Structure 1
C-alpha cells in the first residue's frame, strides 16, 4: 500500500508527506517517471527550474489520468534569480514549461546563487526579500497555492519571517540518516515552517553503511525504505528521487514503524565522509563535516 499521509501547512493547505524527487531525471524521461509514480500512488511531484525537466514533469502531470486537484506539484525559482523582475518572469516561464496555470508550492531554491553557496557569509538578504515579494505576488495572483524556501539556514529564514508578508510554508533541506540538521529542523517547526527532506537516501551513499544495514535487516526492509521511514517519523516530508518504477513501489511501501530505540540509533549514525559521484553539487560538497 502506498504511503499517503499528509502534513498540514501553516497557510491552511496540506502536502503529501511522500513525494517524487526529479533531480537528475532528464526532461525526456520525466513524463514517464511522473506517470509511473502517479500510477503507483504518489500524489506529490517535486521539480525545479534548475533541473531542466519542467516540461517533461508537466507532460506527465497532464497525461497521468489523475485530476489535477488531486496532485501536488512543486517547482523552484532558480538560485541565480535574485531580483523581483527576474523571479517574476521565471515563475511565468515555469508555468508555461509545465503547461499548468498554477503550482501547489513555489520555492526559492537557495539563499545564494550556486556558485556562491555558503561562501563569504553573503546571505543575499535584500535580494531574497525581492524574490520573496515576487512569490508573494504570484501567490496572490493564483499562480501558487503555497510558497517556501530551500537550503535556508536560520538567519536566512529569520529574514523572510521578519520582513515578508507571508510566512514560508516549507524549508526544503538536505536531510537523511547520517546528516539530519536537528537544530534547523527545530527552528523551522518552532516557527510553523514545515521541513522537506531531499535526498533522504543520501543519493545512495548510505546504502552500504553497516549500522543502517543492520537496522533495516531487523525490520525486513530495504535501506531506502528504512531511511524514508526515518524521515517521515521525524515529521518531515520525504522526497526520494528515482525514475525506476520498481524503486518507486518499494519506496512507497512503508507499512512499518521504527521503534524509539532504533530511531535513536539512526539519529546517532556517523556522518558520511563522501557523497561519491554527487559530491560535485555545492550542497553535497560543503555540508560534510
Structure 2
C-alpha cells in the first residue's frame, strides 16, 4: 500500500473515531450548537466515506480505484479541517456548558438573595436588589451579612435587658420598649426599678413596692418609699425623744410628755410640727440643765 494511502487511511480512521465520539455527545447539546454539530457530523460522514465520491468536486469518481495526487490532498485537507472543527467545536461546547452552569448558579444565588431581601427593611431590600441587578452578588451578600450581625447584636442586647427585667419583676413594663427598639429607655427604666427596689428593701416594704414596679407605676412606688422613709425617720425621732424624756427629772416629765403628744399629733413636715418640736427641745434642754 502506498505511503500516501496509508497516511490518508490513518487520518480517516482517526476522523471516524473522533466523529463517533462527538456523535454520541451530540444529544447532550441544545439549540444552535446542536444544529452545528449535526451539520458537522453529516459533512464528516460524507467525506469519510471516500469509496463513493469526492464531494468537493461534485462528481462521482471512486478515489480508491485510481485516486490522483490532488484527490488525496483534498481528502486529507478536508478530513484534517473537519477534525479541527470538531476539536474547537468541542472546546466551545465545554465553554458554553461552563457558562451555562455559571449562569444557573448565578440565578439561584440571585433568587435566594432577592427572597432574603424581602424580609428586611425597604431601604436594605432596594440596596440588595440593585447589587443583584449589577451582578455584584458579593456586595449584596455583604449587605445581608452586615444586617444579620446587627440583628444578632440587637437580639443579644434585648435578651440581656429582658433577663434583667425578669429578675426585677418588671418585664411587662420594659417589654414594649424592647419591641420598639428603645433600648436606652429600657435600661433607664431598669436602673430606676432597681433603685426603687433597693430603697424599698432597706425600708422593709419591698413586698408593697414590687407590685407597683411590676406595673410600671414608678412614681407611685417612689411616693410609697418616701412615705415609708418619713415614717421611719419620725419613728426613730420619737423613739429618741421618748428615751430623753425617760431620763429627765420627774417634775419635768408631765410637761415633756404633753409636748411630745403635741409633736406626734401634728404633721411631720408642717409648720405646727416645727413649732411643737422647738418647744419640746427647749423643755428637754431645761430639764437636762442646759442653758437656754
TM-score of the two chains, using structure 2 as the length reference? 0.17
> Quick check: which has more Rg, 1 or 2?
2
Structure number with higher relative contact order (C-alpha < 8 Å, ≥ 6 residues apart) = 1
TM-score of the two chains, using structure 1 as the length reference? 0.17
